Structure 1
Amino acid sequence: MAKPAGEDPIRNLATRRAIAATRGEKVSRTVARLVARTIADDGLSPGASLPSEQEMAKNFGVGRASVREGLRLLEVQGLVTVRQGLGGGPSVAEPTGAAFGDTMSMYLQANDIRFAEVIEAVVQMEGLTAAMAADKVARGDVDPDVLRGLEPEDHDAASNREFIEESLGFHDSLRQLAGNYPVALMASALAHLYSDRALGYHATEWSDMERDAFDEQHAEIARAVLAGDAVAARDLAIAHMRESVTIVLGENPTIARDRVDWK
């Protein structure tokens, strides 16, 4: 089992030196950077406990206020969870595309970016991940568990929420199959920004005609991916996303002109 951050005296000394050598950077940011590095170096899984603020302050040779601020920086980024009260304390969080998307929204808002750009980015990224997934299948480097996520779904009896979640799950399977974490993370973050905003403007229920059309489009994309046809997979995924956008914007065309707001 990996040791919690700060137990190794040799590393403690190196950490203290790293903090002491910091120039032009707030101590809290240095602490955050070192905690994030320790999580990666020790392979700590989501849910793993981290040392308390007091222990970190002692191990790093800094004040608790700097540790607290550093942990808050990591918590905002979705890398750490800090529970209050008895039995609480910092622990490793599970980084998600949604958390990354929320952080991205801050930069988009600061640059006065409209949802039209987010929508176009989503369309192109879904095409890219579908093409990459097909390339991976063509190379024979596939995960059978991920492939099962591409199997056709029968949505006739599904609730509206189930239909949306299963449809989003299909695209998540494509991102996983693409086998490139940076691309999958970016695509997931953009999809989160789009779905969190746009899907809420659709009618209460997706019609049977819309569900059948989406199911068939997903099946066509899956067939192209499983055939290892990257060009067809990309084109079909882009066409599918454009149709989805057309349906949503048809009910509320002002979405494209709205500014992205920081969540």
Structure 2
Amino acid sequence: MNGATSGKALSEPARTDGIPIAAGGSVLRPLKAAEVVAREVVRRIRADGLQPGDNLPSEAEMLKQYGVSRESLREGLRLLEVQGMISIRRGPGGGPVVGTVDSANLGRMEALFFHMAGATYDELFAAWVFAESTLARMAAANPDAEARQSAMTPYLTGEVEDIEHADLEVYISGHEGFHGAVSALAGNRVFQLTFRAYGQLVAHHLATIGDVRTIHQALVDDHLQLAQAIVSGDSEAAASIMENHLTTVAEINRAEFGVRLQGSVEWL
């Protein structure tokens, strides 16, 4: 969940008769020069083992390295910047810096496709419940009992979540921390990123509509039960508790969403 969002974007339901979802075919289209640059920068980041905050070569160095125009290079870097893969530091000593792999950025891009396809909030909620319940089941099935214990200990001891933060966005970010810990235990980075993107997208929308702090204690209690099920390795219990947990969160916001539930997901 990144940045503040005006409630205006969700003021009325958008049309749901969106663009038909294509069967495929564009996956083999030739890449533009800027896309080639973006791909090569990403490959270099991986090959060199760079981490968030590490500096990338200067523009002059990259122009020489990739043999493209300044316009193509800058466009390629902007493509990565929009995805959060890099950031651009301004001023003296600035330049491109390695960013993070964040499911929130993936969720933002998915929202664009959902919106164009006419996918509704009801559909998003259904996908969210399915995805997070699946991650909870996988987390409890993680064969590393020590890892399960370590990740869930803060939620077993009450070390976190005891206090309702005054800032709703900060509060929801903290709530999302638990779900991030669960997804990390799932042991599948593709599921972790794609499934968590639904949760990040829902959290972003809920922060503009409702206030989950009204059921703060219920959320904390659910997290405790989930943590216990995951630590004990009870996959079915973990999935069931997660499903009930998210259904509760969704239901308290349905009255606020009203007719918007049948409207298409907005690109925020």
Say yes or no: TM over 0.5: yes
Q: 1:243 matched to which residue of 2?
A: 248
Q: Does 1:200 align with 2:208?
A: yes
Q: 2:15 matched to which residue of 1?
A: none
Find the partner of 2:228 among 223, 247, 254. Answer: 223
Find the partner of 1:180 among 188, 197, 209. Answer: 188
Question: What CA distance in whole angstroms lies between the structure 2 residues aligned with 1:80 and 1:176?
Answer: 22
Question: What CA distance in whole angstroms lies between the structure 2 residues aligned with 1:24 and 1:45?
Answer: 29
Preserved CA contact (<8 Å) 1:147 1:177: no
Q: 1:167 matched to which residue of 2?
A: 175
SS at match of 2:190: helix
Preserved CA contact (<8 Å) 2:140 2:148: no
SS at match of 1:82: strand
Q: Return 105-114 or 229-238, whichever deviates more.
A: 105-114
SS at match of 1:252: helix
Aligned-residue identity in percent: 32
The alpha-carbon distance between structure 1 residues 33 and 156, as it changes in their structure 2 partners (threshold 3 A), is closer
Q: Which runs of 4+ in 1 moved over 6 A?
A: none
SS at match of 1:151: helix
Preserved CA contact (<8 Å) 2:145 2:231: no
The alpha-carbon distance between structure 1 residues 82 and 163, as it changes in their structure 2 partners (threshold 3 A), is closer
Deviation at 1:167?
A: 2.4
Q: Return 93-102 or 76-85, whichever deviates more.
A: 76-85
Q: TM-score, normalised by structure 2?
A: 0.81
SS at match of 2:97: strand
Larger radius of gyration: 1
Preserved CA contact (<8 Å) 1:199 1:248: no
**Unaligned residue ranges in structure 1 (runs of 5+):** 1-22
Q: Does 1:26 align with 2:32?
A: yes
The alpha-carbon distance between structure 1 residues 130 and 143, as it changes in their structure 2 partners (threshold 3 A), is closer
Deviation at 1:172?
A: 1.5
Question: What CA distance in whole angstroms lies between the structure 2 residues aligned with 1:97 and 1:25?
Answer: 24
Q: TM-score, normalised by structure 1?
A: 0.82
Q: CA RMSD in A?
A: 2.2
- Which whole-Å deviations, capped at 9, do the CAs of 1:199-253 have from their partners, x for residues lacking one? 33224x733xx22222222222111111111011101100110011011113332
Question: What CA distance in whole angstroms lies between the structure 1 residues aligned with 2:154 and 2:34?
Answer: 42
Q: 1:8 matched to which residue of 2?
A: none
| Bigger RCO (CA 8 Å, 6+ sep) | 2
Q: 2:199 matched to which residue of 1?
A: 191
- Which whole-Å deviations, capped at 9, do the CAs of 1:113-146 have from their partners, x for residues lacking one? 111111111111110111011000x553626542
The alpha-carbon distance between structure 1 residues 165 and 31, as it changes in their structure 2 partners (threshold 3 A), is closer
**Unaligned residue ranges in structure 2 (runs of 5+):** 1-28
Paired residue total? 237
Preserved CA contact (<8 Å) 1:80 1:91: yes
Q: 2:153 matched to which residue of 1?
A: 148
Q: Does 1:259 align with 2:259?
A: no
Preserved CA contact (<8 Å) 2:122 2:262: yes
Matched to 1:85, the amino acid is G
